[in-house]
Amino acid sequence: MNKIYIYPENCREISGIGGEYEKTCKLIVTSFLDFLEYKTNDNIICYYKEFISKNFDDISGAMYYTCFGHIEYILKYGWINYLKTIKKDFNKYENK
The answer to whether residue 9 is domain-embedded is: no
The answer to whether residue 2 is domain-embedded is: no
The answer to whether residue 12 is domain-embedded is: no
Give me the domain span that covers residue 76: 41-88
72 or 95, which is more confident? 72
The answer to whether residue 26 is domain-embedded is: no
The answer to whether residue 23 is domain-embedded is: no
Tens digits of residue pLDDT in 27-85: 999 999 998 887 776 789 999 999 999 999 889 999 999 999 999 999 999 999 999 88
Position 96 pLDDT exceeds 60: no
Measured from the Cβ of residue 23, the count of other Cβ atoms closer than 10 Å reads 13
The answer to whether residue 63 is domain-embedded is: yes
Position 26 pLDDT exceeds 90: yes
Is 82 in contact with 70 (CB distance < 8 Å)? yes
The answer to whether residue 58 is domain-embedded is: yes
Structure confidence at residue 2 as a pLDDT band (50, 70, 90): very low
Cβ-based neighbours of 67, under 8 Å, separated by 6 or more? 14, 25, 28, 29, 32
pTM of the complete model: 0.82
